[in-house]
């Protein structure tokens, strides 16, 4: 029984870690994106939508 529990623990733990890592990366990237857009707006005082 211990092998079955160990296997399922590994499967769930690694899957969960992968999902969490995607969300953490996404949050960091979102923050970086906002920062970059802010910096670019500061560099061009005439303004304009950045896409």
Q: Which residues bind other proteins (CB under 8 A)?
A: 1, 3-4, 6-8, 10-11, 14-15, 18-19, 22-23, 25-26, 29-30, 32-33, 36-37, 39-40, 43
Q: Give the position of tokens 């970059």.
A: 36
Q: Which is nearer to other proteins, 39 or 47 (CB)?
A: 39
Sign for the pseudo-dihedral over CA of 6, 8, 10, 13? negative
Token pair, residue 38, equals: 């802010």
Q: Give the position of tokens 């769930």.
A: 12
Least Å from the CB of residue 29 to other proteins = 4
Least Å from the CB of residue 48 to other proteins = 13
């Amino acid at each position: 029984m211990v092998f079955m529990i160990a296997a399922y623990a590994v499967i769930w733990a690694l899957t969960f870690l992968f999902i969490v890592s995607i969300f953490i990366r996404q949050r960091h990237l979102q923050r970086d994106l906002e920062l970059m857009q802010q910096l670019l707006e500061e560099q061009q005082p005439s303004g304009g939508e950045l896409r």
